[in-house]
Structure 1
Amino acid sequence: MAFQQGLSGLSSSAKALDVISHNVANANTTGFKANQTVFADVYSTTLGANPYMQVGSGVSVPAVRQSFTQGSITTTGNALDMAINGEGFFITKRPVANDLQMFYTRAGEFQLDKDGYVISANGYQLLGYPGAAGAGDPQPIRVPFDAGKPAETSQVEMTFNLDAGQPAITATFDATNPDTYNFSTSVQVYDSLGIAHNLTFYFQKTAPGSWNVYGSFDGDPTLVTNNPIGTMTFDGAGALTSSPNLTVNVTSPLSNGADFGGNGDGVVDVTFNATQYSLASSVTTLTQDGQPAGELASVSVTKEGRLQARYTNGDVKDIATVAIATFRNPNALISMGDNMWAASLESGQAAAGIPGSGTRGFISGGAVESSNVDLTAELVNMIIQQRAYQANAQSIRTQDQILQTVINLR
């Protein structure tokens, strides 16, 4: 029986060395999870055997278990690289229509293909949910190469001071004659096509603490149909006493056929945060809510897994949310190679959700998860298994010598 015991020890140690060598070979493989050899003793049992006289038959390897401990997060600088910080797997599929086979991976080295789909290093498509809601079934994520949509200006807000020392003007306002107004300033606004226009405000002091406000659009006051657009009044301390909210009505659609204003009706709401002090007339802040059209500039991933497209006009659009799958028994996943696993009956079905929900980890964008192989521990285990192999070989040699002694008896 010693031959059988020794052979089982040799076989088990050899398998353990195979596992260790596999781990060492993948010490630098992104998303790799180290394997661990599980040993079990073997006994030959017979009915009525004396429990005090049992002699073992050796050792076996009933399982090679995977360790799904977290690997370190390494920054790569590639915007589409992702690392799961916590539990879960990325969901991928072959780039074939109606292929329902899903593959799961921790290797987040992703890139765009020629059609804009986010794919893994082996060409499999990454799955996620449309937009930021995380609802429905996971679908292949595609980054559209579209333009950032322009937005019409509907609101303008200004903070400024009007010089209290300016003289009152009685002349009729004329945008082309600076002698008919005390101060002017312009703001760049946008129509429905994303074309920039100049909306200019003119301030004419008519009496102490009273100012008329006029407007022009691209230098033409006739395009502003409610001139003057309002009157501003101040108290003796220079504080605005009239409503800061005015409305500019611009003829719409414009000559280029574009709509203008929040609803395309040419109406722009203006908020004047104004003071009247004995200081030079000047504007300190000026904002508006329109924007021009823009081109796709970059793509990034948030920790919640939202894939965001950023455009040159400052627009940010949520394209999709990366789906993360978890399993009741991840140790029963079937290793498919290429850093991928497939579900099995023992692992259970994948439960997909958004990052951070349940036990699912968050996403680290622009980074990947390194292999969780502890190289020092693997090298020590290699020495241990080498000694075990040598010891089992010695037991076979010893049994051979004993048998040789018996055969040589005369």
Structure 2
Amino acid sequence: MAFQQGLSGLSSSSQALDVISHNVANANTSGFKASQTVFADVYSSTLGADPYKQVGSGSRVAAVRQNFSQGSITETGNSLDMAINGDGFFMVKRPVQGDNQTFYTRAGEFQLDKDGYVITATGYQLLGYPGTAGAGDAVPIQVPYDTGTPRETSTVSLTFNLDANQPVIDQTANPFNPSDPKTYNFSTTVVTYDSLGIAHNLNLYFVRTASGNPSTWDVYGTLSGDTVTDPSLTPPGTPALLGNLPFDASGALTGGSPLSLSFGGITLANGATIGGPVGATSDGTIDINLTATQFALASSVNTISQDGVPAGELAGVSVMPTGQIQARYTNGNVITVGTVAIAAFRNPNGLVSMGDNLWIASLESGPGVAGTPGAGTRGFISGGAVEASNVDLTAELVNMIVQQRAYQANAQSIKTQDQILQTVINLR
């Protein structure tokens, strides 16, 4: 019997050394979870056996159990890297049409492929939800490399002050001329965009025409590229009189703010259109909303906004703690392209390791329940970081010594049994 017991001990210790060696080999593998060997004793089953005289038959490896405790989080500098701070697993799939097998991983070293999909180092696509909804089926997350169709400007808004000390300009003696600063009191420029994403300068000129109550200012406008008003054309265009601003004795606009003016009849030389609201046909008119005051302060603009955008290219990506992946573009747009899905399991130890830092679900683990980071027991995401292996090298080296000693002791028990048998054989 001692031979069988010793052999079972050698086999168990050998498997334990295999597990320890695997842990040590993956001490630097991101998202790796260390394994632990679980031993069980072995007894022969004999009908009517005396419980006081049972002799064991050795040992066996009952299970190799993974330790899913949190690994340390390490900053990487790669904005697409992610670490789950808490429970849960990233969901990934092969980029193969019709392959619906979902894999799970804790390794968050992600990057973009040529089509803008977020993928692992081994090419698996990260799954998530479109936008910020966090509902429906998890699908591959794709980051557009550009923002697509430009949006033409339809509305411009300004907040500004006109200096109450400015003189009245006699327009009979000095008719307005955008090329002559003596014919207007103040001017400002707003960059607008046409349907091709080309920038056009909308120049607004303010001329004080009366100083009483109400004090009145005329507003003129020109647009670069406009065949009617652009002063740089040959011959020069004619500026458009957009309206006037009446101020009361307190320096506020008569009738309240904002005051809305329209710059209409725009025809661009490049054939593009401007002035079309989102989703509507361009009408060649830019609506201008003015919130103004007239105080004894230097004329200045406080805020400018307009709703047009040029075409833009991807400038950077960032990940929020709640899983939103935000793409930043060269035109200033910031778009949430998707929300990372996190899967939770009742029994993570039932997951089946597939290599490449991947697991698949089994009957023992139960199905992965997808959700957004922070929902339920799921952890939050640390962007620009990865989770390090949770292998404790000191503990593994000590366990290696323990298993080495156990292996030697089991080998010694076999040697001792061999010596006893040799003694019996040599009896005369």
- TM-score (ref. length: structure 1): 0.90
Other structure's SS at 1:51 match: coil
8 A contact 2:162–2:292 mirrored in 1: no
Specify the alignment match of 1:260 in structure 2: 275
Equivalent in the alignment of 1:185? 188
**2:113 is the alignment partner of 1:94:** no
For 1:345, the equivalent position in structure 2 comes to 363
1:240, distance to aligned residue in structure 2 (A)? 5.2
TM-superposed CA distance for 1:383, in Å, is 0.7
Match of 2:256 among 243, 253, 265: 243
Question: Which residue of 310, 320, 326 maps to 2:338?
Answer: 320
Quote the residue 1:174 is aligned against.
176
In structure 2, the partner of 1:299 is 317
* Amino acid in structure 2 at the alignment position of 1:215: Y
Amino acid at match of 1:216: G
Report what 1:335 is aligned to. 353
Deviation, structure 1 residue 228: 4.8
Shift in CA distance, 122/271, structure 1 to aligned 2, threshold 3 Å: same
Partner SS, residue 359 of structure 1: coil
Contact map agreement 2:217 2:245 (CA 8 A) in 1? yes
* Cα distance per residue 1:266-294 (max 9 Å; x no partner): 242423242411x4333344343433221
- In structure 2, the CA distance between the partners of 1:404 and 1:329, relative to structure 1 (3 Å rule), is same
Amino acid at match of 1:193: L
- Pick which of 292-301 and 4-13 moved more: 292-301
* Aligned counterpart, 2:409: 391
Contact kept, 8 Å, 2:106 with 2:357, in 1: the verdict is yes
Note the 1:38-77 alignment, pairs <5 A: 38-77=38-77
Aligned to 2:37: 37
- For the aligned residue pairs, the C-alpha RMSD in angstroms reads 2.6
Q: Which of 195, 211, 216 lines up with 1:211 in the alignment?
A: 216
CA distance in 2, matches of 1:167, 1:103: 74
Q: Counterpart in 2 of 1:202?
A: 206
Partner of 1:377: 395
Among the aligned pairs, what percent are the same residue?
65
SS at 1:184 equivalent: strand
Describe the shift of the 1:305–1:228 C-alpha distance in structure 2 as closer, same or farther (beyond 3 A): closer
Instruction: Check whether the contact 1:190–1:260 (CA below 8 A) recurs between aligned residues.
Output: no
Deviations 1:91-110 (A, max 9, x none): 22222211122222222222
Deviation for aligned residue 1:170: 4.2
The residue aligned with 1:81 is 81
Which moved further from structure 2: 280-289 or 349-358?
Answer: 280-289
Structure 1 segment 274-289 matched on structure 2, within 5 A: 274-277=293-296, 279-289=297-307
How many residues matched? 407
TM-superposed CA distance for 1:180, in Å, is 4.2
Aligned 1:141-156 pairs, distance under 5 A: 141-156=141-156
Deviations 1:59-92 (A, max 9, x none): 1111101111111122222232222222222222
Distance 1:292-1:252 versus aligned 2 partners, 3 A rule = farther
Secondary structure in structure 2 of the residue aligned to 1:291? coil
Gaps of 5+ in 1: none
Runs in 1 of length 4+ with deviation above 6 angstroms?
221-225
Distance 1:83 1:223 in 2: 60
**Residue 15 (1) aligns with residue 4 (2):** no
1:25 equivalenced with 2:39 (yes/no) = no
- Aligned partners of 1:33, 1:123: CA distance in 2, in Å? 21
Measured in 2, the distance between the counterparts of 1:45 and 1:320 equals 59
Q: Which runs of 5+ in 2 are unaligned?
A: 231-236
Q: In structure 2, do the counterparts of structure 1 residues 231 and 144 end up closer, same or farther at CA, with 3 Å as the change threshold?
A: closer
SS at 1:229 equivalent: strand
Change (3 A) 1:233 1:300: same
TM-score by length of 2: 0.86
